[in-house]
Amino acid sequence: MTDASDRRNNSRGSRGGRGPGGRGRGGKNRLGHRERPKANPRVIAWEVLRDVDLNDAYANLLLPAKLERTRMSGPDAAMCTEMTYGTLRARRFYDAVIEKVSDRPVDQIEAAVLNAMRLGAHQVLAMRVADHAAVSETVGVISKNADTKIANRAAGFVNAVLRRITEKSREEWLEELCEGLSDDERLEITTSHPAWIIRSLRQALVANGRNAEELTQLLEAHNTPARVCLSVLDGTRDQVAQKHGEPTELSPIGVTLTHGDPAHVDAVAAGRARVQDEGSQLVALALVEAEASEDPADPWLDLCAGPGGKTSVLAAHAGTKRVDAVDASAHRTELVKDSTRAFDNVQAVNEDGRDFAQANPQTYTRVLVDVPCSGLGALRRRPEARWRRQPSDIGALGGVQRDLLRTAIEATKSGGVIAYTTCSPHVAETLMVVEDIVKKQPVTVMDAPEVLAQLTGKPAETFESATVASGRVVQLWPHIHATDGMFLALLKKD
Ligand SMILES: C[S@@+](CC[C@H](N)C(=O)[O-])C[C@H]1O[C@@H](n2cnc3c(N)ncnc32)[C@H](O)[C@@H]1O
């Protein structure tokens, strides 16, 4: 049909096509007012998939914005979310099926068309949508919404591919595709992860004392939607839990939302609670909990603060102490201001953390360094991240991660504590950074599992991970702790 460059040009053009709100004129309601035409969940899902593919959009930002704009809620919004996230996660599997039935490499199919096929494949192979509806409704997405040029050519192609996909069950497709493959190649298809991430995660499991056999469980956990979790920062956790969900298993300030929209929780609207993964809550609380020698007036520092999730936890526990919240991005510094609007002890600073820390030597008693990282621990939440990240990203981040940790140590007073955290279990971003830095800096690695044990009331073995120098670090895992894959090292300044 087209080559890859055509694919980009044609599909880019398709963005100008009519959106869900632009189709039809809508009828009139009982009062004679014109009603907005009802948006179609498949069309929204397809638009997000296409924008993620072509324009590097983030599904977790774009989809909620589209749902809000089209006022889609309830079962339609849930179906649209499942179609979008599910299709993105299992892309590798669906692409293999599409290549098999279309006899064409997927990079030679234009994005608007390919993403309709992926969307259809997800409905047929992973959702309880009747085959005929999955096929005809998805063909309708293309024929009614894509550029006329694309629609005329592609509807038949999408129809033919989807019909052939319905000829076999999910299990039959997996069996056929995996025949003769190595273990890792099989995992690539069955769990839909790139090979380099599979290798990195196996290495991380083993380096943290876990069994490599757990790898499949971990990869499968990335394909299970994460529960919505709130951190409640004003001491009303029990009340929030009673009304909206249940207390989290590990974090003493967490609530798992069992129903409703987080935006409708009063404490969230007031900035006294926020959506935050339990793992993120735990690592911030661990810094608060760790034993440190400090004076009441000593300020705390969050050196990579944007968008302010962990800063909020620190601010809520700092009492009258000031929390300096630094971020190199101006936009993300603004987000910190908004996130911490309920607290008057936060000073948001837009500056490179390395410069800020060096300009404020031996000033802080508790310092959080939540470094920019690959995000391989948050794949449950960012369904497209596994396809966007590259192995070269890891090497590129190593320098700034080390510099931020080194300068954070400089900014810490003797007897103070530094928490080095990442939302990635990749050893090059976690253990290797901490091992390198503690060799050269005046710090001692603390017993992070013990701190988390005190915080959660669970035995320290729950958090048992690797040993660095004479101390212990923590690696949280989605398949074990049901959190994001956060890493935590607590360092005491000599
Ligand atoms: C993992 S995010 C931090 C998340 C944040 N702690 C939270 O819980 O909401 C890393 C942040 O580091 C910031 N960053 C990257 N390089 C930086 C630098 N040299 N100095 C300070 N901040 C930096 C990024 O802009 C990003 O906001």
Does 404 score more than 90 pLDDT? yes
Does 189 score more than 80 pLDDT? yes
Question: In percent, how much of the chain has pLDDT > 90?
Answer: 87
For ligand 1, atom 12, the nearest C-alpha belongs to: 304
For ligand 1, atom 26, the nearest C-alpha belongs to: 306
Handedness of CA 424, 425, 429, 431 (dihedral sign): positive
Looking at residue 11, what is its pLDDT? 35
Looking at residue 234, what is its pLDDT? 95
Does residue 400 have its Cβ closer than 6 Å to ligand 1? yes
Does 13 score more than 60 pLDDT? no
Looking at residue 201, what is its pLDDT? 98
Instruction: Please name the amino acid found at residue 290.
Output: A
Does 129 score more than 60 pLDDT? yes
R_g (Cα) of the chain, nearest Å: 24
Please provide the average confidence, as pLDDT, over all residues in the chain.
Answer: 92
CA distance 101 to 91: 15
Looking at residue 266, what is its pLDDT? 92
Does 17 score more than 80 pLDDT? no
Does 375 score more than 60 pLDDT? yes
The stretch 218-227 carries a mean pLDDT of 95
| Predicted confidence (pLDDT) per residue in 295-350, tens digit | 989 999 999 999 999 999 999 999 999 999 999 999 999 999 999 999 999 999 99
Find out whether 96 and 103 touch, Cβ atoms under 8 Å: no
The stretch 336-365 carries a mean pLDDT of 97
The stretch 22-28 carries a mean pLDDT of 47
Exposure b/e, 233-254, CB count within 10 A at least 16 = b: beebbeebbeebbebbebbbbb
DSSP 447: B
- Look up tokens 């710090």; give the residue: 443
CA distance 482 to 254: 13
Q: Is 423 a catalytic residue?
A: yes
- The token pair that represents 439 in the structure block: 């060799």
**pTM score, two decimals?**
0.91
Does residue 329 have its Cβ closer than 6 Å to ligand 1? yes
Question: In percent, how much of the chain has pLDDT > 70?
Answer: 92
Sequence-ordered strand ranges (E) for 194-299:
229-232, 245-247, 254-257, 273-275
Looking at residue 33, what is its pLDDT? 63
**Would you list which residues are annotated within the binding site for S-adenosyl-L-methionine?**
304-310, 327, 352, 370
For ligand 1, atom 27, the nearest C-alpha belongs to: 306
Does residue 277 have its Cβ closer than 6 Å to ligand 1? no
The stretch 58-62 carries a mean pLDDT of 94
Dist. CA 329 → ligand 1 center (Å): 8
Which residues on neighbouring strands pair with residue 324, listed in sequence order? 301, 347
Dist. CA 305 → ligand 1 center (Å): 5
Dist. CA 371 → ligand 1 center (Å): 6
Looking at residue 18, what is its pLDDT? 35
Q: Residue 152 — very low, low, confident or very high, per pLDDT cuts 50/70/90?
A: confident
Cis amide leading into 307 (omega within 30) = yes
Considering the candidates 80, 229, 373, 423, report the single residue annotated as catalytic: 423
**ipTM exceeds 0.95, yes or no:** yes
Which residues on neighbouring strands pair with residue 302, listed in sequence order? 325, 368
Does residue 305 have its Cβ closer than 6 Å to ligand 1? yes
Looking at residue 261, what is its pLDDT? 86
The stretch 88-103 carries a mean pLDDT of 96
Q: Residue 147 — very low, low, confident or very high, per pLDDT cuts 50/70/90?
A: confident
| Predicted confidence (pLDDT) per residue in 439-464, tens digit | 999 999 999 999 999 999 999 999 99
| Residue of 327, 339, 349, 429 with the most ligand 1 atoms within 8 Å of its CB, for mutation | 327
Q: Which long-range contacts (CB under 8 A, 24 or more apart) does 107-110 make?
A: 107/4, 107/7, 108/1, 108/2, 108/3, 108/4, 108/7, 109/1, 109/7, 110/1, 110/2, 110/6, 110/7, 110/8, 110/10, 110/11, 110/150, 110/154
Between 386 and 149, residue with greater pLDDT: 386
Does residue 372 have its Cβ closer than 6 Å to ligand 1? yes
Residue (of 383, 366, 318) closest to 344 by Cα position: 318
CA distance 191 to 386: 12
DSSP 92: H
Least confident of 248-252, 379-383, 403-407: 379-383
Does 438 score more than 70 pLDDT? yes
CA distance 19 to 39: 9
- The token pair that represents 204 in the structure block: 């991380």
For ligand 1, atom 1, the nearest C-alpha belongs to: 372
Q: Residue 491 — very low, low, confident or very high, per pLDDT cuts 50/70/90?
A: very high
Does 492 score more than 60 pLDDT? yes
The stretch 229-258 carries a mean pLDDT of 97
Chain mean position to CA 253: 21
Which atom belonging to ligand 1 lies closest to the Cα atom of 309?
9
- The token pair that represents 379 in the structure block: 């794949």
The stretch 21-30 carries a mean pLDDT of 49
All domains of the chain in start order, with CATH: 41-175 (1.10.940.10), 277-493 (3.40.50.150)
